[in-house]
Each structure stands twice: as C-alpha cells, then as structure tokens.
C-alpha cells in the first residue's frame, strides 16, 4: 500500500511517516499544499493523509483537485485543533463549495 502524507508540522509528519513505514507501508511526504497536490496528481496513492490547514494550497483545494483528476483516491483528513467546521450537518458531513467530507470524530486527550 502506498501512502502520501501532506502535513506542515515537521515532527508530526516525521512521526506518522515513521510509524507507517515500520508497519511496512510505502510512504511519501510533502510539507506544503502545493507539493502535496502535485505529488497526489502525478502518482497513484492508495491513501492520502491530508492536513486541511496547509501553507500554499489548503487541504480543501487539494481535495477539489483530486475530485476532478483522481476521484478514486481515498483521503484521511486532519483538522487542526480549533478549526471550526461550521457547515457540519447532522449526517456528520462538511461541505465547502463542491467538496463534501464525511467526518469521523475521534476523542483524544492531552
């Protein structure tokens, strides 16, 4: 399985990549939205771990590009603490423009 991680927090990017690599996954990394989007469009990935709040293109813009060019690509989204999803409806979906995201809330402490 080939995974792309797009995350601008260097320590988190390194930790996620290390953990996935240790589990045997092929992992590529990008630390900004522009590079991440280009990599996602140039290569085929089984999964993209995508931060929504990135320098350059944000995660929503990357998702919109992927929806057009590689609609089969799966993405796991990371929402930064404090980012409000104001358009969240009772079906746990967030919509921004033409992009709809299913949201899974995972409780974390600390």
- Per the document, the length of the chain is 110
Note the pLDDT of residue 82: 62
- Residue 22: pLDDT band with limits 50, 70, 90: very high
pTM of the model: 0.77
Residue pair 78/50 in contact (Cβ under 8 Å)? The answer is yes
Please tell me the distance from the alpha carbon of residue 48 to that of residue 97, in angstroms, as a whole number.
21
Q: Where are the domains of the chain?
A: 2-102
- Residue 101 contacts residue 63 (beta carbons within 8 Å): yes
Strand (E) or helix (H) holding 100: strand 99-102
Higher-pLDDT residue of 102 and 68 is 68
User: What pLDDT was estimated at residue 68?
Assistant: 87
Angle value at C-alpha 92, between 88 and 93, nearest 5 degrees:
65
**Chosen CATH of 2-102 out of 3.30.70.3420, 3.40.50.620, 3.40.50.2300, 3.90.650.10:** 3.40.50.2300
Instruction: Give pLDDT tens digits for 64-74.
Output: 898 889 888 88
């Amino acid at each position: 399985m080939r995974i792309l991680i797009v995350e601008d927090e260097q320590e988190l990017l390194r930790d996620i990549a290390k953990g996935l690599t240790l589990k045997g996954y092929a992992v590529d990394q990008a630390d900004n939205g522009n590079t991440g989007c280009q990599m996602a469009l140039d290569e085929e990935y089984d999964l993209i771990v995508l931060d929504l709040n990135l320098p350059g293109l944000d995660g929503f813009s990357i998702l919109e590009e992927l929806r057009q060019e590689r609609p089969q690509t799966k993405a796991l989204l990371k929402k930064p603490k404090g980012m409000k999803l104001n358009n969240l409806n009772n079906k746990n979906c967030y919509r921004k423009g033409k992009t709809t995201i299913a949201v899974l809330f995972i409780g974390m402490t600390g």
